[in-house]
Amino acid sequence: MSKVATRFAPSPTGPLHIGGIRTSLFNWLYAKNKGGTFHLRIEDTDKERSKDEYKDQIIKSLKWIGIKYDDDEYIQSTKKKIHTDIVNELLQNGYAYKCYCSNEEIEEQKKRAKQKKIPYIYNRKWREKNDADAPKDIKPVIRFKSKVDGSTVLKDLVQGDVQIDNNTIEDFIILRNDGSPTYNLSAAVDDHQMKITHIIRGDDHKINTFKQIQIYLAMKWELPSFAHIPLIHTTDGKKLSKRDKASTLDDYSKIGIMPDALRNYLLRLGWSYKDKEIFNLEESIKYFNLEGIGKSPSKLDISRILSINEHYIKNTDENNLYSQLNEYCILYKKKIPSDKDKKIKISLTFLKNKAKTLEDIYNNAQYIISDQVNFNDEDLRLIDQTSKKIISEFLGKITRLNELKKEILEPIINELIKSNNTNFKGVGQPLRIALTGSKFGPGIYDIIISLGKEEVVKRLSNKIFS
Ligand code: GLU
């Protein structure tokens, strides 16, 4: 068999959907697992709805999540001549015919089918007619002469044998009357031209597969293998659509989900390998197979995405995590000031333990990033006379220190607890509020060490605590 080649073939008519990314991931991993190639084909033949901004977003999204395609993007609209040549060949060889039905006629048939509550299927009126009967004022469309007898079995690599009666496939249009080829024609021709061996795509394309197979057979091309993957549903069981809130990559990246985590989540969404949950890239390529794809729709689960992201945050080394955080801040927040990067980098050792997203880290690091302490009014009200005394006593002690280390700070805090007849919270809370503006956040030793002596002294010397 020839070398495995897969493709992802999105239409740039809207932002790339999370389901599309998963399809693309499966195709890519399958090709890499087999030592083959993976290609990106932009199906931009619908000139009215296709937009460059969506094409750019597709390319950017694949790059963000780490999916790399071979060669340049294959742009479908540049191949129109090849597509129309094949239409003519099919016409000449008797596999297609001109249909002169007017729009009104077709609309009327569709209306009648709707009234009878049956699916509309073109009545094959022009299939056996002669061109000589053609009305002069109507430009014909070209339809494929589908098989009417018998049945076809699709040997689907995910769903097994799928059989349909041939008469349920209509004589579908392959060339519109404005001379533009349709999706089924262009996709089949391109897949053949690109020597695609495995077509892995959403379940919703199964009916198209039966149409495209007929084109392959008519052209005597070697058939590729097909794998249809069940769609992704929302938590309430509906088909995920572009209108859903958490449906595009951007929805995830803007809350600080990391690319590796989302890739890992999408890999496991509808695919499994033993009971393994976490797959780094190497393992994803090594273990991916079509046998592991489930047969029923998978449910999108945001809490699972967050917990995988949390796992990745905890297990990413600080340098790498810092650069991802920085990128995230540049894109969605504010760039981390350069005089703060060292402090943040050191603080990631503890900040990463209390974060599910990069946004959490960003929020929890505000006390370092911002020079101004933003006090939470309610928390500030907790600072009573005793708290002020504790703050001032701690300030007196820390001013004399040369080095900030937990081993040095701990006895000081313990002493304050004792002399003020209180507990750890009684000392830790006022200090935390004074230093960060809030009673929530990292541990007090981490806060003090990450801010450094100069900043701690400055913040505790604030007049509101005297
Ligand atoms: N352009 C089609 C889509 O976005 C691609 C279908 C296919 O993979 O053949 O749904």
| pLDDT of 83 higher than 90 | yes
Helix and strand totals (H; E) in the chain = 20, 12
Mutate to test the pocket of ligand 1, among 183, 203, 242 (most ligand atoms within 8 A of CB): 183
Ligand 1 contact via 11 beta carbon (within 6 Å): yes
Claim: this prediction has a pTM higher than 0.85: yes
- The separation between CA 202 and the C-alpha centre of its own chain, rounded to angstroms, equals 15
Ligand 1 contact via 9 beta carbon (within 6 Å): yes
What single-letter DSSP state applies at residue 357?
S
Ligand 1 contact via 205 beta carbon (within 6 Å): yes
What pLDDT score was predicted for residue 337?
94
Q: For residue range 224-235, what is the model confidence (pLDDT) as tens digits?
A: 999 999 999 987
Report the nearest atom of ligand 1 relative to the CA of 20.
4
> What spacing in Å lies between the alpha carbon of 208 and ligand 1's midpoint?
10
> What spacing in Å lies between the alpha carbon of 272 and ligand 1's midpoint?
24
What pLDDT score was predicted for residue 335?
93
Ligand 1 contact via 43 beta carbon (within 6 Å): yes
Ligand 1 contact via 416 beta carbon (within 6 Å): no
**Where exactly are the structural domains of the chain?**
1-70+230-314, 80-175, 316-368, 371-466
Q: For residue range 260-295, what is the model confidence (pLDDT) as tens digits?
A: 999 999 999 999 999 999 999 999 999 999 999 999
Tokens of 110: 């569709």
Greater confidence, 235 or 22? 22
**Would strands 151-156 and 141-144 be described as parallel, antiparallel, or unpaired?**
unpaired
> What spacing in Å lies between the alpha carbon of 334 and ligand 1's midpoint?
37
pLDDT-derived band at 243 (thresholds 50, 70, 90) equals low
| pLDDT of 414 higher than 80 | yes
Task: Please give the share of the chain, as a percent, with pLDDT higher than 70.
Answer: 98
| pLDDT of 446 higher than 90 | yes
Residue closest via CA to ligand 1's atom 4 equals: 10
Question: Cα separation of 275 and 339, whole Å?
Answer: 45
Mutate to test the pocket of ligand 1, among 11, 79, 215 (most ligand atoms within 8 A of CB): 11
> What spacing in Å lies between the alpha carbon of 284 and ligand 1's midpoint?
24
Residue closest via CA to ligand 1's atom 6 equals: 9
Ligand 1 contact via 12 beta carbon (within 6 Å): no
Ligand 1 contact via 357 beta carbon (within 6 Å): no
Question: Cα separation of 363 and 9, whole Å?
Answer: 38
Fold of 1-70+230-314: Rossmann fold (3.40.50)
Tokens of 220: 């005597």
What pLDDT score was predicted for residue 1?
59
Question: Cα separation of 228 and 159, whole Å?
Answer: 7
Which CATH code fits 80-175? 3.90.800.10
Tokens of 5: 């080649």
What pLDDT score was predicted for residue 39?
98
Q: For residue range 305-332, what is the model confidence (pLDDT) as tens digits?
A: 999 999 999 999 999 999 999 999 999 9
Burial 3-29 (b: 16+ CB within 10 A, else e): ebbbbbbbbbebbbbbbbbbbbbbbbb
Ligand 1 contact via 201 beta carbon (within 6 Å): yes
What pLDDT score was predicted for residue 132?
85
Residue closest via CA to ligand 1's atom 2 equals: 10
pLDDT-derived band at 81 (thresholds 50, 70, 90) equals very high
> What spacing in Å lies between the alpha carbon of 63 and ligand 1's midpoint?
19
Ligand 1 contact via 58 beta carbon (within 6 Å): no
| pLDDT of 174 higher than 80 | yes
The pLDDT mean for the chain works out to 95
Ligand 1 contact via 187 beta carbon (within 6 Å): yes
CB 370 within 8 A of CB 361: no
**Would strands 173-175 and 141-144 be described as parallel, antiparallel, or unpaired?**
antiparallel
> What spacing in Å lies between the alpha carbon of 9 and ligand 1's midpoint?
5
Question: Cα separation of 220 and 214, whole Å?
Answer: 10
Give the residue among 83, 68, 166, 171 at the shortest CA–CA distance from 123: 171
Question: Cα separation of 208 and 228, whole Å?
Answer: 11
Ligand 1 contact via 209 beta carbon (within 6 Å): no
Q: How many CB atoms lie within 10 A of CB 36?
A: 16
Ligand 1 contact via 10 beta carbon (within 6 Å): yes
pLDDT-derived band at 239 (thresholds 50, 70, 90) equals confident
> What spacing in Å lies between the alpha carbon of 226 and ligand 1's midpoint?
13
Tokens of 77: 């609209």
Q: Amino acid identity, residue 363? A: N
What pLDDT score was predicted for residue 242?
63
Ligand 1 contact via 257 beta carbon (within 6 Å): no
> What spacing in Å lies between the alpha carbon of 11 and ligand 1's midpoint?
6
Check whether domain 371-466 has CATH 1.10.10.350, yes or no: yes
Ligand 1 contact via 169 beta carbon (within 6 Å): no
Tokens of 69: 């395609």
Ligand 1 contact via 228 beta carbon (within 6 Å): no
pLDDT-derived band at 162 (thresholds 50, 70, 90) equals very high
3-class DSSP state of 395:
helix
